[in-house]
Structure 1
Amino acid sequence: MGWFLLGCAIVLELSGTVSMKLSNGFARLTPSILMFVFYGGSFTMLNYALHYLQISVAYAVWSGIGIVLITFAGLSIFGEKLQPASYLWIGVIVIGVIGLNISSKGH
């Protein structure tokens, strides 16, 4: 149940961040409102997930996967470009999240 809630939190965080970009610095009302709704939902789901998961693991997964997903959203939705080295550092984030999960399995 904790991983499902965490997954919901990640999807809502991604939606909130995309809405933030679409709000154009609060110039557009609907994406601005949606940003607060999605972030509120994300933090709520993260809070419930913490009932089942360790905070260190849950937060690292939430933020790490969120970083990776929003990077891909920036590339695909907004046409942003990354330097080749950026892909390496995103890989480091993914490896770190995987490593944290592996090392916490015994607890």
Structure 2
Amino acid sequence: MPYVLLALAIVSEVAATLSLRASEGLSKLVPSAVVVVGYLVSFALMARALTALNVGPVYAIWSALGTIGAFVGGVVLFDEPVRPLTVVGAVIIVLGVIVMNLGGGVGQG
């Protein structure tokens, strides 16, 4: 169950981040509301997941997958450019999360 909560926290964070872009500086009401609700839901879900998982690897997973999700969402929704160096950076982020999990994993104890 904590992994489901973490996955939902990541989805919520990505939705909030993409809505931040769509809000045009928080000047549009609906995307701005999604930003606030999305981040609140994301933090609440991650807090619940952290009752059973270790904070370091969980935060690494949350931030890395959130970054990748925002990158992909920006490309798909806002036609942002995909540059080779950006893709290399995304791969490095994912590799970093894998290494962190090999070093201790996400389960408490």
TM range (shorter): over 0.9
- State whether structure 2 residue 57 is matched by structure 1 residue 57: yes
1:45 alignment counterpart: 45
Structure 2 counterpart of 1:99, one-letter code: V
Structure 1 segments of 4 or more deviating over 2 A? none
Deviation at 1:83, TM superposition (A): 2.4
State the TM-score, normalized to the length of structure 1: 0.94
Q: Which runs of 5+ in 2 are unaligned?
A: none
Q: 2-side partners of 1:83 and 1:10: how far apart?
A: 24
User: Number of residues paired by the alignment?
Assistant: 107
Q: Which runs of 5+ in 1 are unaligned?
A: none
Q: 2-side partners of 1:21 and 1:47: how far apart?
A: 25
Deviation at 1:78, TM superposition (A): 0.5
Q: 2-side partners of 1:84 and 1:13: how far apart?
A: 25
Q: 2-side partners of 1:86 and 1:28: how far apart?
A: 29
Q: Give the alignment of 1:1-80 within 5 angstroms.
A: 1-80=1-80
State the TM-score, normalized to the length of structure 2: 0.93
